[in-house]
Amino acid sequence: MGFLDRFKKKPEATPPQPEPTPPAPDAQGPTTGTVRIGPKEQTVLMADRLATAAPPAKSPPPPAPAEPEVADEPPKKAGFFAKIRAGLKKTTRILNTDIRDLFKSEGRLVDDAFLDELLEILIKTDMGVASAQQAIDEVRSEFRGRVVHMEDVVGSLKRKLKELLKQPEQPIRFADTGTTVVMVAGVNGAGKTTSIAKLARTFIAQGKKVVLGAGDTFRAGAVKQLTIWAERLGAEIVTGEEGSDPASVAHRAVTRAVEVGADICIVDTAGRLQTQQNLMKELTKIHTVIGKKVPGAPHEVLLVLDATTGQNGISQAKSFSEAVKCSGIVLAKIDGTAKGGVIVAIRQQVGLPVKYLGVGESADDMTLFNPDQFVEAMFEDLMPAAGAT
């Protein structure tokens, strides 16, 4: 059996992990607006009710280990490379150990045996056989039959992987006028709710007014979690009764965002497996309902993928894109257990741009995806990352 035959078996999906539920907010939390959708379809705005009340007493400082921290200042970009590097330590450990083992002597002849060993190492990072083979072909083209040093090979791999990950600079596509609607989808446990909070924090830090739509009506914990985040971030949230129609919640959230002149409306959706066809059709319905309320919306459909999922992320990306025309990926849980190579496979096989990386649990722990920086972080223990801080 050939070497590549060992990797043709379809990888097993990693069972999704439940999202952590943040602790309850302080009793004197922010006076954010909440729209409750019940039988009477009443609108309850907490800010209006509390406007005439006596000023609340100063809240005690939150317990350090349990509270999600929300900074008063916009997220700082400096230091994110260090977080990405820490999040990819499993990948860097594979590359650092195995590639160094290839170069125990001062130099190494680039022959078929060497290239096969190098291919196996790359596949361990979850980048898939096809992407790994392209990187190996680059090394073969440059160095076959020559004695090379580690820095020569690593430099070639980095150049090729940066090329494979290259994508247009595509941050959020904002509407020309009015409210920009962002729909967020993903499987259960991928980190969807936390990612929505991080997106909201990013937009609020930019001075934008945000309305959230808690469309995961089938899981009470999801609505509660997103409500707590909304209160902490100072965003208005539209919720529905448990089990109510998610499309109705999405419609009302977008309606509310337009009424109050919000810059951004982020609509959550129920987590679902990509194999659940009836639930995937429901996503299509939500997408259609939003478009009827705001022409051209949703302007972005972001798929949240758990970075620890591995090759199953490719199947998720394909299925969700077919249902709701995903425009980009948020790669969550870059937490040290992830194999970052899966980004290369998704970029090559699905073509979706990776827009954001989630590198921690804090609301500020999200950064725009930078392909060059990401590749440098993967190989940082082997060669210093150029210009990284």
Interval 132-171: pLDDT, tens: 999 999 999 999 999 999 999 999 999 999 999 998 877 7
Residue at a domain's end among 146, 165, 184: 165
Residue 75 domain-assigned? no
Cis peptide before 298 (omega within 30 of 0): yes
* The predicted structure's pLDDT at residue 389: 38
- Bigger pLDDT: 290 vs 45: 290
Same domain, 95 and 238: no
Verify that 282 and 347 share a domain, yes or no. Answer: yes
Same domain, 158 and 189: no
Give residue 169's pLDDT.
Answer: 78
Mean predicted confidence (pLDDT) in 14-25? 48
Whether the per-residue pLDDT at 72 is higher than 50: the answer is no
The reply to whether 43 falls in a domain is: no
Confidence of residue 13 (pLDDT cuts 50, 70, 90): very low
**75 has pLDDT over 60:** no
In the predicted structure, residue 92 carries a pLDDT above the cut 50: yes
Identity at 66, one-letter amino acid code = A
Which structural domain, as residue segments, surrounds residue 115? 88-165
CA distance linking residue 302 with residue 296, whole number of Å: 15
CATH of the domain at 369: 3.40.50.300
Residue 73, domain member (yes or no)? no
Average pLDDT over every residue of 274-300: 86
Question: Are 365 and 222 in a shared domain?
Answer: yes
Q: Are residues 196 and 127 in the same domain?
A: no
- The tokens for 335 are 């937490």
Same-domain pairing of 159 and 180: no
Q: What is the mean pLDDT of the chain?
A: 78
Work out the number of other CB atoms within 10 angstroms of the CB of residue 61. 8
- Provide the greatest CA pair distance for the chain: 80
What is the structure's pLDDT at 313?
82
Residue bearing the bigger pLDDT, 119 or 53:
119
Asked if residue 369 and residue 229 are part of one domain, the reply reads yes
Question: Rounded distance, CA 283 to CA 295, Å?
Answer: 18
30 belongs to a structural domain: no
pLDDT of residue 275: 60
Of the listed ranges 122-131, 141-150, 276-285, 288-297, the one predicted with least confidence: 276-285
Q: Is the pLDDT of residue 271 over 50?
A: yes
Q: What is the helix (H) or strand (E) element at residue 250, kind and residue range?
A: helix 246-259
Q: How many residues does the chain have?
A: 389
Token couple for 108: 């190494």
Is 90 exceeded by the pLDDT of residue 251? yes
Is 247 inside any structural domain? yes
Residue 81: per-residue pLDDT: 66
Could you tell me if 122 and 212 lie in one domain?
Answer: no
54 lies in some domain? no
Q: How far apart are CA 269 and CA 246, in angstroms?
A: 7
- Predicted confidence band at 111 (pLDDT cuts at 50, 70, 90)? very high
pLDDT of 149 reads: 93
* CA–CA distances in Å: residue 21 to residues 72, 192, 207, 212: 22, 12, 27, 17
Please say which residue of 165, 195, 226 terminates a domain. Answer: 165
For residue 9, being part of any structural domain is answered with: no
Instruction: Specify whether 140 is located in the same domain as 182.
Output: no
Read off the pLDDT band of 264 (50, 70, 90): very high
Same domain, 97 and 206: no
Asked, for residue 76, whether it belongs to a domain, the answer is no
Domain end call among 165, 199, 233: 165
Please determine, for residue 386, whether its predicted confidence score (pLDDT) is greater than 70.
no
**pLDDT band at residue 258 under the 50/70/90 scheme:** very high
Number of domains present in the structure of the chain: 2
Residues 140 and 187 in one domain: no
Over residues 206-219, the mean pLDDT reads 92
Domain containing residue 155: CATH number: 1.20.120.140
Same domain, 201 and 152: no
What does the pLDDT read at residue 65? 38
